[in-house]
Structure 1
């Protein structure tokens, strides 16, 4: 007996969206191929990444010691976060969060 199992992956694309664009907004690992840049300050970092930069695996923003949902979703990239770790004043794993 031979069994065949097939898996189909479907991505819902909006009009005009390319498959590469749809795949980059899939989840926390979205920024795995972000160029590592050291930014001078949060103003410079937020100009490119409005929600800040987070280590991979961070699930929320710490506000007064309590985990809160993201106001603006950060880019998840451990190498980029590490390069800009000096900008994470509250040490919650998110640099320059908003």
Structure 2
């Protein structure tokens, strides 16, 4: 009986070290955002463009599609925001 208890305790210690040593999933913000060459390339993936936050308003008028919201992705493609309304390549 004592050997069984020691074996179970040993197994629990091994499992706890294995779980704590496992790599943690990376944070979405830590992953490098992809930079696109132009608005045509962005609109192939994100039809409505890329917004920096969900609260920004479009200066250019009525749009057909809702933009994808991502601060990291917008910051990587800031050069494509011609009217500086914090939405890159809106359509």
Question: Does the CA-based 8 Å contact 1:60-1:70 persist in structure 2?
Answer: no
2:38 to 26, 41, 46: 41
Aligned to 2:53: 56
Q: Please report the TM-score for the alignment, with normalisation by the length of structure 1.
A: 0.56
The correspondence of residues 1-98 of structure 1 with structure 2, limited to 5 A, is 33=28, 36-63=33-60, 68=61, 70-98=63-91
Q: Please report the TM-score for the alignment, with normalisation by the length of structure 2.
A: 0.60
Q: Which has the higher strand share?
A: 1
* Structure 2 residue runs without a partner (length 5+): 1-27
Question: Does the CA-based 8 Å contact 2:56-2:85 persist in structure 1?
Answer: no
CA distance in 2: counterparts of 1:45 and 1:73, whole angstroms: 14
Aligned Cα root-mean-square deviation (Å): 2.3
- Once the 2 structures are TM-superposed, how far is the Cα of residue 58 of structure 1 from its aligned partner? 3.1
